[in-house]
Amino acid sequence: MQLLISVVDEKEAKSAVDGGADIVDVKNPREGALGANFPRIIRRVRQNTPSGLPVSAAIGDAPYKPGATALAALGAAVCGVQYIKVGLYGTKEVRQAIFLLKEVCQAVREYDSGIKVIVAAYADAHRIGALPPLASPSVAIEAGADGCMLDTAVKDRTSLFSHLGDDELGDFVKNCHNRGLLCALAGSLGEADIPRVSKIGPDIVGFRTAACLGDRIMGRVDAEQVNRLKDLIAASKFPLCNQYRATGSAVQGVPH
C-alpha cells in the first residue's frame, strides 16, 4: 500500500519526499476537496521532486462541464504529472460521468498516453447530489480511465468511514482490482485508520490533514508526520497480493 501526500507547493513537496511519501499529490484545499492548484505550482513541484517519484494533480471538484474539465486535464498533463485526478462533483448521472471522463481521457492521451486518469468519487455524494461513489469503477472502465479514488467532499468532522462501511469499501476495492483499475482511498483519514484501511487493501492511501502541523488549509505538511504515517503503513498487516499490486506494473508503469 503506497502513501500519497497532498501538498500545496514545492516546499511541502520536499517535506513529503523527506518523510518517505510514495506519491506527491498537488492540490489546492482552499478550492475544495480536490481543488486545483495553479499550473506554475504544479510545474515547480514536478521540477523539484525526484524524477523517479510520481506526481499527481487534482484538477478540481469538477462541475458537469466536459469541455472545461478536459481542458483543465490537458493543462495538468502539460505540467508533467503522471496522474490526473478528476472529482465527479457536478455529475449526477452515470451517462454524464462517462461522457465527461471520455473527453478527459482523450485530451490527456492525445498529449501523453502514459499519463493515468483517476476518477475521484465522493463517499458523501449524498450530501452534494453527486454520482454514487460505488458506481465509479464501472464508469471508469466505460470511459477508459485508469483508476478510482474515494474521497469526501464535505470537510467537517466526518471521514471516509463515516459514510461507507468496511464491507462496502472492500467491495469497492475488489471491484476495482477485478477490472484492472488502480484503487485509492482517502477522505479525512487519520493515523488510527491505517490498520483498518490496510485490511481493506487499496493500492494507495491518501492523506493531507494527518500529514500536517495544523489543519488541512492553514497547516503545513511536516516530514516527521509523513514519516510516522509511512512507518504505520509498514507496520500494518495486509495481504501479500496487495503488496504486489502496490509495487507491480499497475503502479510502476508511470514515472502515482
Q: In this predicted structure, what is the pLDDT of residue 157?
A: 87
Q: Out of 14, 27, 102, 237, which one is annotated catalytic?
A: 27
Delineate the domains of the chain, giving CATH numbers in brackets: 2-252 (3.20.20.110)
Specify the pLDDT at position 252: 37
Cβ atoms of 164 and 188 within 8 Å: the answer is no
Question: Can you list the residues of the chain whose pLDDT is less than 50?
Answer: 238-256
DSSP letter string, 124-163:
TGGGTT---GGGHHHHHHHHT--EEEEE-SS-SS--HHHH
- Is 116 a residue of the active site? no
Q: What is the pTM of this model?
A: 0.91
Report the pLDDT value the prediction gives residue 244, as an integer from 0 to 100.
35
- 11, 85, 199, 230: which one is catalytic? 85
Task: Write out pLDDT tens, residues 148-162.
Answer: 999 999 999 899 999
Q: Does the annotation count 27 as an active-site position?
A: yes
Alpha carbons 137 and 134: distance in angstroms, whole number = 7
Under 8 Å between Cβ of 90 and 53: no
- The tens digit of pLDDT for each residue in 36-89 reads 999 999 999 999 999 999 999 999 999 999 999 999 999 999 999 999 999 999
Q: Which residues touch 45 (CB under 8 Å, ≥6 apart)?
A: 7, 9, 10, 13, 24, 26, 55
Check residue 178 and give its pLDDT.
97
Average pLDDT, the chain: 93
pLDDT at 246: 40
Pair type for strands 55-61 and 2-7: unpaired
Q: How far apart are CA 61 and CA 142, in angstroms?
A: 21
